[in-house]
A and B are shown apart, each in its own frame.
Chain A
Amino acid sequence: GAVVSQHPSRVICKSGTSVKIECRSLDFQATTMFWYRQFPKQSLMLMATSNEGSKATYEQGVEKDKFLINHASLTLSTLTVTSAHPEDSSFYICSARQGPSGNTIYFGEGSWLTVV
């Protein structure tokens, strides 16, 4: 079946540095991918919608200059957390939409980010 792969699964970075997380659809093309963030013991909150070949659409309250999203190909979207701070430590998970409708969604494995 369809698979979405996320990398890295765990990353530790120093405050002030940037870290990139990749979301890759392995056996289908995804014109649209989504990035979610989950703080400990909380729910998943949509951060942004990543559109292939165009700018990402950010949810209210999400800093687009801090969370850079690039969807340069039909199988890859990247999320870069710039100038990371400890409060950015979280679980980040992506999903990819297969096809034009919104009912076939596949999630990546997620990435644990710890900023020290």
Chain B
Amino acid sequence: AQKVTQAQTEISVVEKEDVTLDCVYETRDTTYYLFWYKQPPSGELVFLIRRNSFDEQNEISGRYSWNFQKSTSSFNFTITASQVVDSAVYFCALSEAGRGGKLIFGQGTTLQVKP
């Protein structure tokens, strides 16, 4: 069965703090893709990253970084020096290669960054 778990429902930090959003996934497929999206109050999904199952390299993009560990089935997302504009709901999602683009989303983590 496929499943994505984001155990943190809500996180509140003060601006400039670092914050890590956890994501744990379950899949039986050997080929799959993992995603992170940001959803501001307006609702649209802002694509942040896609990682395939064969690429375990960590990635850094500005203040964002991602740690993919197949051994623990985790794909965690860290925001360094958080800013108020980072406040949003963040979703981790899984797409198995055999499912043609269907995404399974985690429950989402609401991040509030206070000034």
Contacts and interface: CB of A to CB of B under 8 A. Distances in A.
A93 B97 contact: no
B101 A97 contact: yes
Given A44-B105, A103-B50, A109 B100 contact: no
A103 B100 contact: no
A90 B14 CA distance: 31
What are the 5 closest A-B residue pairs judged by CB atoms, nearest first? A102-B101, A97-B101, A110-B43, A107-B45, A109-B44
B52 A103 contact: yes
B102 to A, nearest CB: 6
Interface in A45-104: 45-46, 49, 91, 93, 95, 97, 101-103
A13 interface: no
Interface of A: 32, 34, 36, 38, 42-46, 49, 91, 93, 95, 97, 101-103, 105-110, 112
Nearest to B50: A103
B91 A46 contact: no
Given A107-B44, A107-B45, A107-B47, A46 B102 contact: yes
Interface string B16-45: 000000000000000001010100000111
A46 B94 CA distance: 12
Given A102-B95, A105-B101, A93 B45 contact: yes
Nearest to A99: B101
